[in-house]
Structure 1
């Protein structure tokens, strides 16, 4: 059995990342003195297209968070949350506002911005070019929305603190910071405050998204601050209900022919359940259930559990260009982050989250559905770590007023340009989609299908 810190290191090294820092802890604030949002326009270096900045409509900024230990007892201490903001290419004033969140836990959303659903790729000489898929088409979310990529939790990406006590240990704590940030963002950008609002994310965002949405809903219900017009949540490649989803690992591995029937039988059927109780119970469940998953990983050898079609030859992926690009002095100057170092994924955020890992965040979703917030859950057919089997099961098992109709609704093909790209089931406010020919990072594997999925879902068009 691998302990959490070892798992974090294995995960980070598997992406070919070697951050200089475990987490962003800064002794002084080198860039800002303002108490709220500080934004500036970006001037990214681009390769072969001097007009690319005009297409981007972008800013980057920091927000000084109030509900932190560093903010509460010493004004010289601080925690700042970093974000990118990109205006919609359609109609910024009326289009929805989408917040996109990456998982980890402890990985920057710049991974999604530069490798999945943003407009650029990073070249070998650390410049930017348009994505190969299409000069605009792979800029998925900006076709239908204004988009915010936010580095959270504390210490992730360019977000930083001056006090290690601010490192969050659960998604509820991260939700406090998220809500404070959104209030400050809409105060600074009142022209977007009445727009429809969506939270979309992947992987460990399976925990963040329900927790963040729950905090937004409570703020709205209690008439705190600015009303946020929350319309929907989309969870991609997530692990939201651990008790159900961990039990699906062996079934998924057997159906994919990654293990034999004998292997399946030897894994046993006794799994520790998820918990919303004491952290010690959640930690034990983390060890027990991770042990089951590690047993499967050991049996499949070099098979990439993010995408079983691929092999890991030492590395599963190489995301090192992101860290190298964003840590260039010229880029940090363009972003206005001063001397703060970019940390793509970090151990010091991953490790304290182990009590949160096994908590069931499905429990807050039914109330959101009953309140008219729609939900899209999607998963790639070749992803093992957050497989479609477990995601389909927890969505079916969720108790809410529309459960019976959803469960009885037949699955139908999801077609893009007349070609079947997945299998979907939808009833009322709930939609599930299995995406064909995709692993864990669906927008990277199937950009065109991802575009259609998000477009139709946001616009209320059946998948």
Structure 2
């Protein structure tokens, strides 16, 4: 497996561990002597997200004006808007390329949802009707990770209907997921992207708040788009969405059981290169790094014996009732990841095949520039005084106590009820690597566990090419995607679209 060192400075490369969009790991300020893991020292245990997150965001060529979208005066909170909850408008962008459908053939919508039980929070979203069959196609929601990064990152760089070209024009994405579904992109938690609030007490700090907001939004969305309310519904996303997705799926399941409102026809959820069960995933770092030839056997042995046990103990002490214990587990366990980085050098740990260019490992500035244009904001119904916050350091910091909590625990009940679960991972991602994800999926206790463990790995073929390895039994599937890093839909867009289509149709294998 090839690995390429980043060409940026060591400090900048390490700060990328805080990458809000994708991170499975938090970068405490560490100093490591590769010859002896016992010399690993936590230089600044009190270091938290905001300062390092800001440096990380700059290294990605993103320059949000605010740490979170908090406005002092929101005139859109009038009674008529608040009462209807959702304020939505249809928009039209000039899109080049082809053959592509006319914008008149289907709907592109942007809107705000006024969140209940908040001081003044409004959630921004995009909704794209399917290019193929906008009446019967499933409804898919995509959740970008972070925590604290906007859904537009996926929309414009991964699986949305169009992409931004170098000259700041829009071009149809031949492999957008709107080819197979009606798709929602949501800026969440509050303060992210174009979502905003009038009071920072509305910033969420756990999955209860996040999942309730999303559930309430979906209730109102299907009320306003009733023709889609009976369609199959799927939850998708990547990275920190490995927390969001199981939490939302459980919330929907509970709401359906209790007949709380509109029945959401949830058929399944898919997590890409996610952080879901930290106990399995942090322990897998040295094994993956050894197999990828990022570290030596002696390094692996030292890390496994000296750093993994304290991490396991810290995770065992992490409880949703004690955010401090979970933050301590975060600092303790990240010594494992940082030790690997210190040995391996300045690798691009979202795709260890690639070198970084100059001071950048990824450049998402086109999205930020495009969404900062007044004409674009006007077309989307975004007020002049709302700026686009590509990644929110405040949201990130607020969620740190949630980081090390295991969200695998709610999945078995969903599997037993027949909800389909797909866990997929690009093979060249280090930070949310396929091995750690495979380990927790195989270790999950449910009635089909032994049969899933015994199931063979079979080729996943996209087009005429072997594109991955698939293991499945009943409603559970795990897919290792070849030639992809952390962002599978960006690295392998054709494969990702076929994966989505096959999975939703029950034809993944």
| Range into which the TM-score falls when normalised by the shorter chain | over 0.9
Q: Give per-residue Cα distances to partners, 1:276-302, cap 9 Å, x unaligned.
A: 342121111111112221222232222
Change (3 A) 1:379 1:87: same
**1:23 and 2:68 equivalent?**
yes
Residue 162 of structure 1 deviates from its aligned partner by: 0.5
Matched length: 449
Residue 30 of structure 1 deviates from its aligned partner by: 4.7
Counterpart-to-counterpart distance in 2, 1:45 and 1:20: 27
Match of 2:136 among 74, 94, 118: 94
Residue aligning to 1:311: 355
Alignment check: 8 A CA contact 1:23 1:156 kept: yes
Counterpart-to-counterpart distance in 2, 1:55 and 1:445: 29
Moved more, 56-65 or 291-300: 291-300
1:350 is paired with a residue whose SS is helix
Residue aligning to 1:349: 395
Residue 171 of structure 1 deviates from its aligned partner by: 1.6
Counterpart-to-counterpart distance in 2, 1:184 and 1:328: 29
Residue aligning to 2:319: 276
Task: Return the TM-score normalized by structure 1.
Answer: 0.94
Moved more, 430-439 or 410-419: 410-419
Counterpart-to-counterpart distance in 1, 2:286 and 2:336: 8
Moved more, 158-167 or 272-281: 272-281
Match of 2:458 among 400, 412, 417: 412
Counterpart-to-counterpart distance in 2, 1:106 and 1:118: 19
Residue 18 of structure 1 deviates from its aligned partner by: 1.4
Alignment check: 8 A CA contact 1:183 1:225 kept: yes
Change (3 A) 1:410 1:271: farther
Counterpart-to-counterpart distance in 2, 1:232 and 1:10: 37
Residue 221 of structure 1 deviates from its aligned partner by: 0.9
Counterpart-to-counterpart distance in 1, 2:88 and 2:383: 13
Residue aligning to 1:138: 175
**Matches of residues 366-385 of structure 1 in structure 2 within 5 Å?**
366-385=412-431
Change (3 A) 1:48 1:430: closer
Query: Unaligned regions of 5+ residues in structure 2, if any?
Result: 1-27, 30-46
**1:431 and 2:477 equivalent?**
yes
Residue aligning to 2:5: none
Q: Give per-residue Cα distances to partners, 1:444-463, cap 9 Å, x unaligned.
A: 00011101111000011133
Alignment check: 8 A CA contact 1:302 1:311 kept: no
Query: Unaligned regions of 5+ residues in structure 1, if any?
Result: 71-77, 132-136
Change (3 A) 1:89 1:403: same
**1:58 and 2:108 equivalent?**
yes
Alignment check: 8 A CA contact 1:100 1:200 kept: yes
Counterpart-to-counterpart distance in 2, 1:387 and 1:212: 23
Q: Give per-residue Cα distances to partners, 1:15-46, cap 9 Å, x unaligned.
A: 22111111000112255630111110112244
Moved more, 261-270 or 106-115: 261-270
Change (3 A) 1:48 1:429: closer
Residue aligning to 2:149: 107
Alignment check: 8 A CA contact 1:154 1:167 kept: yes
Match of 1:37 among 86, 105, 108: 86
Residue aligning to 2:212: 176
Counterpart-to-counterpart distance in 2, 1:4 and 1:252: 27
Residue 225 of structure 1 deviates from its aligned partner by: 0.9
Residue 307 of structure 1 deviates from its aligned partner by: 0.2
Residue 350 of structure 1 deviates from its aligned partner by: 0.7
Counterpart-to-counterpart distance in 2, 1:102 and 1:48: 26
Alignment check: 8 A CA contact 2:277 2:408 kept: yes
Task: Return the TM-score normalized by structure 2.
Answer: 0.85
1:161 is paired with a residue whose SS is coil
1:372 is paired with a residue whose SS is coil
1:362 is paired with a residue whose SS is coil
Counterpart-to-counterpart distance in 2, 1:297 and 1:7: 17
Counterpart-to-counterpart distance in 2, 1:311 and 1:296: 17
Residue 7 of structure 1 deviates from its aligned partner by: 4.1
Residue aligning to 2:287: 251
Residue aligning to 1:73: none
**1:285 and 2:333 equivalent?**
no
Q: Which 4+ stretches in 1 moved above 4 angstroms?
A: 47-52
Match of 2:121 among 75, 79, 92: 79
Change (3 A) 1:413 1:10: farther
Alignment check: 8 A CA contact 2:106 2:134 kept: no
Residue aligning to 2:11: none
Alignment check: 8 A CA contact 2:237 2:271 kept: yes
Change (3 A) 1:263 1:314: farther
Alignment check: 8 A CA contact 2:97 2:172 kept: no
Change (3 A) 1:303 1:52: farther
CA RMSD of aligned residues (A): 1.7
Residue 205 of structure 1 deviates from its aligned partner by: 0.3
**Matches of residues 193-272 of structure 1 in structure 2 within 5 Å?**
193-267=229-303, 268=306, 269-272=308-311
Residue aligning to 1:327: 372
Counterpart-to-counterpart distance in 2, 1:46 and 1:229: 32
